[in-house]
Amino acid sequence: MRPRTPTSLSVWSVGYDGNVKLGRSSVRAGPFRAGVGAVLLCLITACAPQAPDHSSWRDQAHLSVEDVASNVATMSLVLQLVREGRMLGKYQQVVALNSETNAGRTTSHLSAEQPEPRDDAMYRRVTTVLSDAGDLLAQVRIALVRRDSRAYPRLARELDRMTRRLDRTETAVRR
């Protein structure tokens, strides 16, 4: 029989709640249980959609439309400068990717919100136009990376139409 030493796994120890017998399962289970609890807490709190009130949601929608419109305007400028031969290839690709990524992030953030029922129609309108703008920005980026100069005039017209569509949506959100 082996004598019990302070380093043995089956000794008594003083814990926060008094004397606790340490055994193989309690030494290993403590950190595991704490880890599982932390993960569950994060999942429960992080996955719940935000539910702003009517005014807050409208403000956020307005800012989101403005942000995506800014990215569309940036891409329009990039396309114009590329068509004029005034922008280097790698830089145009970086700017295009950043515009597309920023618009996508803004769209994802707004679409994760839970609007009040009276804002459902506006929610659909705003998230649809933001998604369409993101798709158009992806098409422009692809054309720029491929150096598909034949597509530039058509994409420039589509960016202009998207700018007007975003402006109309922004006006509707402010009402």
| Average pLDDT of span 59-64 | 96
Shared domain for 40 and 59, answered yes or no, is no
Span of 18-27, 111-120, 122-131 with lowest mean pLDDT:
18-27
**Same domain (yes/no): 147, 116:** yes
Rounded Cα distance between 159 and 71, Å, is 10
Q: Same structural domain for residues 37 and 58?
A: no
Whether residue 17 lies inside any domain: the answer is yes
Asked if pLDDT for residue 145 goes beyond 60, the answer is: yes
Range of the domain at 113: 54-174
| Same domain (yes/no): 33, 94 | no
Mean pLDDT lowest for which of 72-81, 87-96, 157-166? 87-96
pLDDT in tens, 89-122: 899 999 999 999 999 999 999 999 999 999 999 9
Let me know if residue 7 belongs to a domain: no
d(CA 12, CA 154): 78
* Opening angle at CA 54, ends 52 and 59, nearest 5: 80
Q: How confident is the model at residue 10 (pLDDT cuts 50, 70, 90)?
A: very low
Co-location of 18 and 84 in the same domain: no
- Tell me, yes or no, whether 5 lies in a domain: no
pLDDT for position 132: 98
59 and 24, same domain (yes or no): no
pLDDT surpasses 90 at 7: no
pTM attached to this predicted model: 0.71
87 lies in the same domain as 139: yes
Give the number of domains in the chain.
2
Q: Mind listing the pLDDT tens digit for each residue in 31-60?
A: 656 666 666 555 555 555 567 888 999 999
Other CB atoms closer than 10 Å to residue 97's CB: what's the count? Answer: 15
If asked whether residues 87 and 169 sit together in one domain, one would say yes
3-state SS record for the chain: CCCCCCCCCCCEEEECCEEEECCHHHHHHHHHHHHHHHHHHHHHHHCCCCCCCHHHHHHHHHHHHHHHHHHHHHHHHHHHHHHCCCCCHHHHHHHHHHHHHHHHHHHHHHHCCCCCHHHHHHHHHHHHHHHHHHHHHHHHHHHHHHCCHHHHHHHHHHHHHHHHHHHHHHHHHHC
